[in-house]
Amino acid sequence: MKKAFKLFLASVLLTGAFYACDTKTPEPPAEPEFVLTADKYAMIADGVDEVTFTATLDGEDVTASSQYCTDVFCYTSPVFTTAEPGAYKFHATYELNGETIQSNEITITAKEVEPVEPTEFDPSKAIKKNVAFFTWTGTWCPYCGVYKGTMKGVVEDYGDNIVELYLYTTPPNTPGYPEAIGCPLAVRRTEGQLSTDGRFPLQGYPHTVVDFQRVLSGAVPEGQIISAYNACVGNSPKTGVMVNSVLSDTEVNVTVTVGAKEEGEYAIGIFLVEDHIIAVQSNGGSQYDHTNVAREIGVDSTRSLFGESVGAMTVGQTIEKQFTMNVADNYKPENLSILVYTLYNNESGKPVIDNAVKVTANGLTGYNYAE
């Protein structure tokens, strides 16, 4: 009898042991996903232009029952307008089960009202000339930061007539330097000629092409940069360019109008550009401020730096083109701008840049007549 009791007791204990092993501690409930977005992130500080917020909780729209707060005030209305220029940081709050939860923070940039520029093209007026510096670079490149520092000094002296674009390439298997910055034309260093039809083969980094006419290879001294600039800035533009861009959460829509001062065939190139990307840079540390970074190219059909043809134009004629570029989640809207440039074929039949303009990603620029 005692033996039977011992067997029974062992069976109970063993069953309890299995039961205890199978018992799992309940996982804590997931944190609610409370997200604040806006229909645009840049506006005109004219007291009329509006930004509309949207708040979602686990995918459900809770805009009407949320509040929208800065460091100073909270608003019940999801519509924001201001007459004061500046950067406004907002987060949303929501009452959930007796507790106040807070969303992510977004920044709305309110820009000063700009003078209205003439929208009618006048071929008799001179157009301001900007020189385009397109530089192939990389976060892994030890000399690229040196070049950019030299270029910064040149821009301080000649910046009113310089437009920069940096095309980041993938690293040549360099440990510690992942491709921290995206680029629509990213290629490996060994692939050479990119989408420039072999005109500007990469001989080293950094590699700069000035107006598609002159090449600066390596971390050249300031004198060579200025010499290339002077060789191009005296060229009178054959075209005027007017740009109007509208930025939303997921894309930027750009209307480009080209006016011809001289008869000829022309093309349009366009990029979405981002400033102030903080990322690693060889010989520059882990908190390097990357500016004028090519994010998206607007000529999707060819992805060519030589742009999209607008065909033959007569003097005084204007042609309008529409472009749409994606805005990825990691792009900061307040740091985005649009680079537009026009091209024509030189005497050798090769495309060169006629002129270049840059405008904020939610802005407008006129034909930029010379003063």
Q: Using one digit for the tens of pLDDT, what is the confidence trace for 150-190?
A: 999 999 888 789 999 998 877 666 655 555 455 544 433 33
Give the least confident one: 102-106, 167-171, 237-241, 316-320: 167-171
Query: What percentage of the chain reaches a pLDDT higher than 90?
Result: 51
Question: For 192-220, what is the mean pLDDT?
Answer: 78
Is pLDDT larger for residue 175 or for residue 241? 241
pTM, rounded to two decimals: 0.68
Whose CA is closest to 320, among 240, 249, 271, 257? 257
Q: Using one digit for the tens of pLDDT, what is the confidence trace for 293-341?
A: 998 888 765 667 888 999 999 999 999 999 999 898 888 888 999 999 9
* CATH level 3 topology of 131-365: Immunoglobulin-like (2.60.40)
Output the CA angle 330-331-333, nearest 5 degrees: 135
Q: Which amino acid is at 73?
A: F
Q: Rounded to an integer, what distance in angstroms lies between the CA atom of residue 119 and that of residue 361? A: 19
Strands 99-111 and 42-44: parallel
Continuous segment of H or E residues that includes residue 193: none
CATH of domain 34-111: 2.60.40.10
Are 34-111 and 131-365 in the same CATH fold?
yes
Q: Which two tokens stand for residue 216?
A: 């600066």
CB within 8 A of 214, min separation 6: which ones? 228, 231, 232
Given pLDDT bands bounded at 50, 70 and 90, which one contains residue 363? Answer: confident
Given pLDDT bands bounded at 50, 70 and 90, which one contains residue 48? Answer: confident
Strands 86-96 and 131-137: unpaired
Domain ranges of the chain: 34-111, 131-365
DSSP string, 233-270: HTSPPSEEEEEEEEE-SSEEEEEEEEEESS-EEEEEEE
